[in-house]
Amino acid sequence: MRVKHLILAAVLFAGPGNSFAHEEANGPNGGQIADVQGHHVEFTVKDKEIVLFLTDEDSKPIASKGASGRVIIQAGGRQVTVALAPTDPNVMTAKLDAPLAARAKVVVSAKLGDGHDIQARFVAK
């Protein structure tokens, strides 16, 4: 099972369809933004929780109702997968067991309620 997760992480980190976060600007909630096929994913961290804000290319909220996904975190030689849960109106969250380490690599993979698949990569600050 661990090999399966490592292969998945390698594909996600190297895949051409993934989006990297924009380093030059913060989003309206202070987080990093990734542009994913007409969707914006803003990555923020609050204590032991990853919070993703979903908007369209015009910065209008995208409903998170019906969305599902996961976050793969690589830090300190370890890999952890955490489920994402939708929180209305346009937020998805992942509960962490410990605060996110600086420079942790984070891969977001989700299916939105409108059927769109999104994948985005971030590096925690």
Would the pTM of this model clear 0.85, i.e. be above it?
Answer: no
pLDDT tens figures, 75-117:
999 999 999 999 989 999 999 999 999 999 999 999 999 899 9
SS3 for 99?
coil
Sorted by where each starts, the structural domains of the chain and their CATH numbers stand as 2-123 (2.60.40)
CA-CA distance, 120 to 33, in Å (whole number)?
Answer: 9
The residue ranges of DSSP E strands in 27-90, in sequence order, are 32-36, 39-46, 49-56, 68-75, 78-87
What are the structure tokens assigned to 106, written together? 């984070």
pLDDT tens figures, 15-73:
444 455 544 469 999 999 999 989 999 999 999 999 999 999 999 999 999 999 999 99
CA-CA distance, 107 to 98, in Å (whole number)?
Answer: 17
